[in-house]
Structure 1
Amino acid sequence: MTFRYDFAPTPFGDALAVFSEEGIVRFDLSEADDPSVPWLLEGVAQRLRAVPEADPGAAGELTALLDDYFDGAPVAFHEHLALDWRLAEGFTRHALQTIRTISWGETVSYGEIAVLAGHPGAARAVGTACRNTPFSIIVPVHRVVRSDGSPGHYGAHPERKRYLLDLESHR
């Protein structure tokens, strides 16, 4: 299996996009200021057991969708992009596939996702799935909130989650 990577611009900086023949494998809003840092790509390569090759332009369709999204259009990424789920297994995959169905501008609690995913009481596991998603923004984990309606975290950047929720609330 061949893996390719490119970078897609976001308001948070360039994000790493990794693709297989089956679709996008990973979209990573890096914790680093520079997503091209070797450790980020090494981590992805280790998980894939293959070194992705640079492919400038590979993220063209994704970039166009992101541009529309950040311009305020209600983009359902999974309707336009094939997702390769190999980096999400078990309950994490099931929770993320459930989260994928949350509509633009809507929010659902971690506990509600657990129930919808068939595992009542697994709200913390839903939080872990959100934190470990291989598909930042593409699978809208930012739409999953605490039971009191407060946003909660988004990795180390809760301000990004607030930004995304605010963006979607203006439509």
Structure 2
Amino acid sequence: MSWSDRRQILAGLAAVGLLAGCGFQPAYAPGQSGDSLRGQILPKAASNKQSFIFVDRIEDRLGRNDAAPYQLNYSMNLSSEGLAKTPSNSTYRYHLKGRLTYSVVDRNTNEVLTSGMVRNFTGYSAIGTTVATRASQTDARERLMILMADEVVSRLYATAPSWLP
């Protein structure tokens, strides 16, 4: 074993010790927030294709339960801007930005338990046929919705201990 390998092992062991000392708890461990959120949140109904993809991903990660005690409300805004332009002003690459605000509401009392905002982006190419560009744009929108849904779920896992009973 070389010296560099030993240093990496020692650094890894030190990191584990530091995490244990700071009160780190894995979210997916039995009885933790990842386990206790399963089937507890019902997302607001989807109104378009982007929100359908978002809701589908949320339900994939947290489960679907029509009788869930909490509701996830959300509002999203998407925008697109051209990035790579030619001297003739043709755009070859687009930057798709998304901003999503969310809140978790108790369905019995309508009390807002937690809220926040996530932002993310993807890009797509506009080189090729109209069909290829449209397919790239559709794929970028789907990827953006999945990225934002995953970020919302991560934030819910992180904040759940403060608002779950």
TM range (shorter): under 0.3
Q: Given the two structures, how large is their TM-score scaled by the length of structure 1?
A: 0.23
> Relative to total residues, which structure has the larger helix share, 1 or 2?
2
Q: Which structure has the larger Rg over C-alpha atoms? A: 2
Query: Which has the larger strand fraction?
Result: 2
